[in-house]
Structures are given as C-alpha cells and as structure tokens.
Amino acid sequence: MKDFGELSGLQLDALREIGNIGAGNAATALAQMVNAKIEMTVPRVSILSLTDVPELLGGADSHVVGIYLRVQGSIGANILFVLPIDNARLLVDMLMAVPSGSTRDFGEIELSALQEVGNIVAATYLNAMVMFTQLKMVPSVPGLGIDMAGAILDAILAQFGEVGDYVLVLETKFRKDRQDVVGQFFLLPEPGSLDTILSALGVSN
C-alpha cells in the first residue's frame, strides 16, 4: 500500500498539477460568488510527516480555522483546509468586500462564507482530480472548527494515523487588490485510495 512518503517526483508533479488546475477553477468560482476578481494559486506542494504538521500551522496551540470534508465514492479521503485565525479574518474581508482589518468576530455570515470557501476549494480540487482519473468522488457537507491547530488536526489525523504517517499539503494563496491570504490544504486519502488515484492517473509506478 502506497504512502505519500514513497511518492516519486513524477507522481508528486501529477498531484501538484491537479492542485494548480483546481486552484484556477476555484478562483473562477470564488470570483462569481463575490463578484470581484480573486486570484488563487498553489505556490507549494509538499509531503509532510504527521508530526511536522502542527509546526507548519504555527504550533499546536496556535488559533486557527479548520474546514473539514470527507470524500466518498471510488476512493475515501479527508480534506482539511486550515487558515490561521488572522488570515481567516482577512479572507472574510475579501469575500465580504470590506476593507482589510474590518472583520473581528465570526458571526453566522462570516462562518458560512468561510465554509463556502472550504467547499469551493475542496470541490474544485476534486473536480480536477475526477477529470483526470474518471473516479467517482463525492464530498460531504463541510464541518467547521475554530480552535487550536493541534486539536483541529488530531481528530482527523487520528483516523489517518492508523495507516500512514505522511500527508499531502498544498499551500493555497488567495490574492485580491494586492492583499495575500495563505491557507494550507491537506489531502489525506484512506488506506489503498492513493494507489487507486495514482493508477487512474497512469503514474502508478
């Protein structure tokens, strides 16, 4: 059974390319949602050991927003999109078309906007993946948590921790009016699912 730790350069490139295509589509969807131009790119794709994930998010007790979806169909996977709390505020500012620094608390509208971004980012990545693999992938309704990074992660990593010790991370950058907001998009396939994806992509060896 394949683990992310054993991926070749070619396999990583394939997953990264899907990330870029997904980001392009997500940007279009976001722009339609807020009726303004928002750029989205995936500047970095990396494979991380589970134990290094909290550091990437600024430490296990740093305050973050996490949006979580489960994927079912031909493969099983978990998707988690995480933003440091300050970045989440800036992203809400972008989405609501208010000046940077306006958003302080997260009310129902702010939470629902963030949930929708998680939804769009996940769905467009999955759509790009479906296009290349012809596999069936259906995302769940997103769940949202605002808490310590370690706490948000471990509930999800716990189920993944039974099988693998590495995760795929796509750094995702949003840009509007020269303001950048960076979040981390994690893909955690369930046992055997990575093999299914790679073989459907034609890069199984």
Which residues lie near another protein (CB under 8 A)? 50-51, 54, 59-61, 63, 68, 140-141, 143-155, 157-159, 161-164, 191
Q: How many CB atoms lie within 10 A of CB 136?
A: 11
- Report the C-alpha gap between 19 and 129 in whole angstroms: 9
Q: HSE, CB side, 13 Å, CA atoms: give it for residue 6.
A: 10
Q: Which is nearer to another protein, 35 or 51 (CB)?
A: 51
SS3 label, residue 202: coil
Judge contact between 166 and 4, C-beta under 8 A: yes
Q: Which is nearer to another protein, 33 or 144 (CB)?
A: 144
Nearest-approach distance from CB 58 to another protein, in angstroms: 11
Judge contact between 71 and 77, C-beta under 8 A: yes
Nearest-approach distance from CB 34 to another protein, in angstroms: 26
Nearest-approach distance from CB 156 to another protein, in angstroms: 8
> Tokens 């693998």 map to which residue?
164
Q: Which is nearer to another protein, 12 or 146 (CB)?
A: 146
Q: Which is nearer to another protein, 120 or 153 (CB)?
A: 153
Q: How many CB atoms lie within 10 A of CB 202?
A: 10
Nearest-approach distance from CB 67 to another protein, in angstroms: 10
Nearest-approach distance from CB 88 to another protein, in angstroms: 14
Q: Which is nearer to another protein, 42 or 169 (CB)?
A: 169
Residue 38: closest CA among 26, 47, 54: 26
